[in-house]
Amino acid sequence: MIRVRFIKTIMALIIGILFTVPVFAEGFITGKIKLPFEATVTLKNNKVENNSKTNLLLTFKIDEGSYLYKDSLSLKIKPISGVKIGKPVFPKSETKMDKFTKLNKQIYHKSFTVSVPVEVTPQAKSGKMQLASTVNFQGCSKTICYIPQEKNVSIPFEVVKKK
């Protein structure tokens, strides 16, 4: 009797998991689950003179009680002729004992901005351009860690001749 009840309980758990996981995963794939963090990429100046510098700004908005892992953050920018991309400048992070990995991790738990130097060379052609970028990140809320995220962003700007 106990064995039959145990088997029924195990079967119910397995069936519940089989139906829950795909629905939960589908929410990530279709974007129906709201993440507690959001990434935006902008250029400080939308019109840039050739032979001048500006900054690309990667801003993360993080809901209270959530955090992003610093080691999961990356920004890749596709090279374009006449534009040099510098190294990202990250703000100071904090060390936290991560309850999910049981390791000390560098995290951001408040909204922050990463600045990336952008130089438009004298050889850059005048006109409209697009900086194609890919942002990768992963973070957790109080109760769950989310799958790694990838966001493709195209940043329009215009190169104008220096006066």
At 31-42, the pLDDT tens digits run 567 889 888 888
Which one is predicted more confidently, 9 or 95? 95
- What span, in angstroms and rounded, lies between the C-alpha atoms of 23 and 19? 7
Strand partners, 114: 58
pLDDT in tens, 118-150: 999 998 888 999 999 999 999 998 888 899 999
What is the residue-averaged pLDDT of the chain? 84
pLDDT score recorded for residue 72: 93
Q: Which two tokens stand for residue 16?
A: 């519940």
Sequence letter at residue 94: E
CA atoms within 13 A on the CB side of 143: 1
Torsion of CA 114, 119, 124, 126, to 10 degrees: 70
Percent over 70 (pLDDT), the chain: 81
Cβ within 8 Å of residue 78, ≥6 positions away: 131, 132, 133
CB atoms within 10 A of CB 98: 16
Whether residue 83 is predicted with pLDDT greater than 90 in this model: the reply is yes
